[in-house]
Amino acid sequence: MTNLKFRFIAVPLMAAFMLLFGSGDAFAMHIMEGFLPPSWSLFWTAVSLPFFVLGFRSMRKIVADNPRMKLLLAMAGAFAFVLSSLKIPSVTGSCSHPTGVGLGAIMFGPSVMSVLGAIVLLFQALLLAHGGLTTLGANLFSMGIAGPFVSYGIYKLADGMKAPRSMAVFLGAALGDLVTYVVTSLQLAAAFPSATGGFAAALFKFLGIFAVTQVPLAVSEGILTVMVWNAIRSYAGETMFGGATLSGEVK
Amino acid sequence: MTLDEHAARSRLRDVAPGFKLLYALPPIAMALWANSVPFSLLVFGLMGASIVLKGGVRPADYLRWLLLPAGFLVIGTAAVAVDMSAHPETFVVSAPLGGANIGVTATGVAMAAHLCFRALASVSCLYFVAFTTPVADLGRSMAAVGVPALFIEMTLLVYRFVFLLFGTASEIATAQRSRLGYAGTAASFRSLASLASNLFVFSARRSEELYVAMECRGYDGAIRVLAPSSGARQPSLAGIALVEAALLCVAIAAHSGRFF
């Protein structure tokens, strides 16, 4: 009986503490189901849709050119899903989950990532209860579109400016992560402007809250992405990237 | 137990996925639109009862899953409720912090309360789908509403590969842990990087092997599978329509009258 009582009190308390002060499970960046008002859900879905359609077209073209890319792309999607469920040590000592946004964008290009991102987010909602169906558009925009496009852009820019390759990868991954977090904060602030200070105050508030987990995470993920990138390149060589070996082959 | 394990064991598994989606998806839209606490509670209760009584999920399991999105819910609603301002008189409760005041306003609390219940109601609807419908069935119902075949095939392939990679990743992680691979931050980074890169190389090679195996068996760009025919008794469309209509009436009353 006392045991039961203990559990009644201790379990919710422990859960509350873990949520508030613990690792702050970094899936927290997925806007949960039902959190956005209907107008904003529709708005972000409408914003994401053109990117998704373009990404899907490019994917269809890739697959038509070389059918074996279908399986490689599906593997890439599954890889992103599994990667996002791993825990990485954060520089502040707690643990977070990587987003895999930067790695995917640098390896496969941002347009394909919007389709793979949609599939991964759908599974995260259905299998892990992170994110949701009505917020799929908003989450897709921050994690599948804004993050990858910025990652890829920065990576190409740094690479074009003759920065060391590892520097380019680090900047791409870390800034892609930061953009994801800023866009999510923007989405939340736009939907829930502060009663006293309006949109700007709300943005400040959400940025401040998520900075606790997201800024260290961006640094950790940048470091991890560089390490993974180097390891894959030393194993598979430069040709692995961009599917050059696979798509260049004559069938 | 993972969510799709629950879905595979569910008593509602053999019900055609279209019925289940028709039952659970409209209430999400209604709850979002009505934005009323009693209506949200009604939906939350209805879905919870359906999952536990009809689906045969143990209440403890359901509650454990409900706790998962709580992290975002607590942080998110707290952020909505709490505000900062130079004038303490706008707040119901406030505390000075530096030059400004931090506190909660009446409108902020009302917004946060509505938000919290609305989100819980929608999550319970999402859970009804997740707890009763295996992903393969969802793929078939996506085809029925005209989602492109390539997208569905991609979805099902990703679903299959997720478990393949999960298995491999957890084996590698166990091997690394047994060699103290995660003792300390530097070692953790090293181990995680080698895990992720090996996993990537493994998945690339595995996809190549799969392609060759499928090519050998006459793969021409489409994966065709037979839909299992189930003899399970299907619910009546009229019954579901009736429930939805009743919910819609309550939602309209709650939205327009605000008397709840």
Residues of A in contact with B157 (CB under 8 A): 70-71, 74, 77
Closest residue of A to B162, CA-based? A78
For residue B88, the 8-state DSSP code is G
Please tell me if residue A205 touches chain B, with a CB cutoff of 8 Å.
Answer: yes
Please tell me if residue B158 touches chain A, with a CB cutoff of 8 Å.
Answer: yes
pLDDT band at B98 (very low <50, low <70, confident <90, very high): low
Q: Which of A207-221, B33-47, B75-89 has the lowest mean pLDDT?
A: B75-89
Residue A20 has pLDDT above 60, yes or no: no
**Span between the terminal Cα atoms of chain B, in Å:** 38
> If DSSP states are collapsed to H, E and C, what string results for chain A?
CHHHHHHHHHHHHHHHHHHHHCCCCHHHHCCCCCCCCHHHHHHHHHHHHHHHHHHHHHHHHHHHHCCHHHHHHHHHHHHHHHHHHCCEECCCCCEECCCCHHHHHHHHCHHHHHHHHHHHHHHHHHHHCCCCCCCHHHHHHHHHHHHHHHHHHHHHHHHHCCCCHHHHHHHHHHHHHHHHHHHHHHHHHHHCCECCCHHHHHHHHHHHHHHHHHHHHHHHHHHHHHHHHHHHHHHHCHHHHHHHHHHCCCC
Closest residue of B to A198, CA-based? B83
Q: Tell me the average pLDDT across B47-70.
A: 90
**Span between the terminal Cα atoms of chain A, in Å:** 70
Residue A213 has pLDDT above 80, yes or no: no
Q: Which of A87-96, A134-143, A158-167, B194-203 has the lowest mean pLDDT?
A: A87-96
Q: Tell me the average pLDDT across A56-77.
A: 87
Q: Six-digit token pair at B249?
A: 């009436």
When CB atoms are compared, the residue of B69, B122, B154 closest to A119 is: B154
Sheet containing B82-85: which strands, arranged edge to edge? Answer: B82-85, B100-104, B93-97
- Return the domain boundaries, chain A: 34-235
Q: Which of A120-134, B35-49, B212-226 has the lowest mean pLDDT?
A: B212-226
Non-local CB neighbours of A155 within 8 Å, separated by 6+ positions: A102, A105, A106, A168, A169, A171, A172
Q: Which of A167-171, A230-234, B33-37 has the highest mean pLDDT?
A: A167-171
Residues of B in contact with A127 (CB under 8 A): 2-4, 130, 135, 162
Closest residue of A to B114, CA-based? A35
B259: three-class secondary structure by DSSP:
coil
Please tell me if residue B105 touches chain A, with a CB cutoff of 8 Å.
Answer: yes
Residue A8 has pLDDT above 80, yes or no: no
Specify which residues A194 forms β-bridges with.
A198
pLDDT band at A230 (very low <50, low <70, confident <90, very high): confident
Asked whether the beta carbons of residue B203 and residue A28 sit closer than 8 angstroms, the reply is no
Residues of A in contact with B101 (CB under 8 A): none
- ipTM at complex level: 0.87
Report how far residue A101's alpha carbon sits from residue A213's, in angstroms, rounded to the nearest whole number: 16
Closest residue of B to A25, CA-based? B71
Residue A153 has pLDDT above 90, yes or no: yes
Q: Tell me the average pLDDT across A210-214.
A: 80
Residues of A in contact with B83 (CB under 8 A): 194-197, 201, 205
Residues A34-235, CATH architecture: Orthogonal Bundle (1.10)
Report how far residue B108's alpha carbon sits from residue B78's, in angstroms, rounded to the nearest whole number: 9
The fraction of chain B above a pLDDT of 90, given in percent, is 25
Q: Six-digit token pair at B119?
A: 């989100």
Q: Are the CB atoms for B199 and B170 separated by under 8 Å?
A: no
pLDDT band at A237 (very low <50, low <70, confident <90, very high): low
When CB atoms are compared, the residue of A31, A129, A201 closest to B65 is: A129
Which residues of A, range 14-43, sit inside 8 Å of B by Cβ?
Answer: 15-16, 19-20, 24-25, 27-28, 30-35, 37-38, 41
Non-local CB neighbours of B62 within 8 Å, separated by 6+ positions: B48, B51, B52, B127, B131
The fraction of chain A above a pLDDT of 70, given in percent, is 79
Please tell me if residue B203 touches chain A, with a CB cutoff of 8 Å.
Answer: yes
The fraction of chain A above a pLDDT of 90, given in percent, is 28
Q: Which of B49-63, B128-142, B164-178 has the lowest mean pLDDT?
A: B128-142
Residues of A in contact with B122 (CB under 8 A): 33-34, 132, 134
Q: Six-digit token pair at B205?
A: 């090679």
Q: Tell me the average pLDDT across B201-225.
A: 83
Structure confidence at residue B86 (pLDDT): 67
> How far off is chain A from B153, nearest CA to CA, in Å?
9
Residues of B in contact with A67 (CB under 8 A): 211, 219, 221
pLDDT band at A6 (very low <50, low <70, confident <90, very high): very low
Question: In the A/B pair of chains, how many CB contacts fall below 8 A?
Answer: 244
Q: Which of A64-68, B174-178, B222-226 has the lowest mean pLDDT?
A: B222-226
A179 vs A24, A30, A227, A238, B153, CA distance in Å? 19, 14, 21, 27, 31
Residue A244 has pLDDT above 50, yes or no: no
Report how far residue A19's alpha carbon sits from residue B168's, in angstroms, rounded to the nearest whole number: 29
Please tell me if residue A125 touches chain B, with a CB cutoff of 8 Å.
Answer: yes
> How far off is chain A from B237, nearest CA to CA, in Å?
23
Q: Tell me the average pLDDT across B122-142.
A: 89
Please tell me if residue B32 touches chain A, with a CB cutoff of 8 Å.
Answer: yes
| Residue with the larger pLDDT of the pair B236 and A94 | B236
B84 vs A187, A191, A197, B91, B99, CA distance in Å? 19, 18, 8, 9, 10
Non-local CB neighbours of A90 within 8 Å, separated by 6+ positions: A23, A96, A213, A216, A217, A220
Structure confidence at residue A111 (pLDDT): 87
What would you report as the CA-atom Rg of chain B, rounded to the nearest whole angstrom? 24
Residue A245 has pLDDT above 60, yes or no: no
Asked whether the beta carbons of residue A68 and residue B207 sit closer than 8 angstroms, the reply is yes
Report how far residue B31's alpha carbon sits from residue B247's, in angstroms, rounded to the nearest whole number: 10
Structure confidence at residue A229 (pLDDT): 85
Q: Tell me the average pLDDT across B24-29.
A: 92
Structure confidence at residue A21 (pLDDT): 41
When CB atoms are compared, the residue of A127, A196, A227 closest to B83 is: A196
Structure confidence at residue A129 (pLDDT): 83
Asked whether the beta carbons of residue B197 and residue A20 sit closer than 8 angstroms, the reply is no
Residue B102 parent element (H or E) = strand B100-104
Please tell me if residue B130 touches chain A, with a CB cutoff of 8 Å.
Answer: yes
Which residues of A, range 72-111, sit inside 8 Å of B by Cβ?
Answer: 72-79, 81-83, 85-86, 88-89, 91, 93
Structure confidence at residue B215 (pLDDT): 86
Closest CA to A75 of A250, A240, A249: A240
Structure confidence at residue A134 (pLDDT): 92
Asked whether the beta carbons of residue B126 and residue A125 sit closer than 8 angstroms, the reply is yes
Angle, vertex CA A165, rays to CA A161 and CA A166, nearest 5: 130
Which residues of A, range 139-168, sit inside 8 Å of B by Cβ?
Answer: none
Question: pLDDT digits over A185-204, tens only?
Answer: 999 899 888 877 788 888 88
A227 vs A217, A220, B202, CA distance in Å? 15, 11, 17
Residue A205 has pLDDT above 80, yes or no: yes
Asked whether the beta carbons of residue B148 and residue A56 sit closer than 8 angstroms, the reply is yes
| Residue B234 backbone phi and psi in degrees, to 5 | -90, 145
Non-local CB neighbours of B50 within 8 Å, separated by 6+ positions: B23, B128
Q: Are the CB atoms for B42 and B120 separated by under 8 Å?
A: no
What would you report as the CA-atom Rg of chain A, rounded to the nearest whole angstrom? 19
Structure confidence at residue A100 (pLDDT): 79
> How far off is chain A from B80, nearest CA to CA, in Å?
7
Residue B160 has pLDDT above 50, yes or no: yes
Structure confidence at residue A18 (pLDDT): 46
Report the mean per-residue pLDDT for chain A: 80
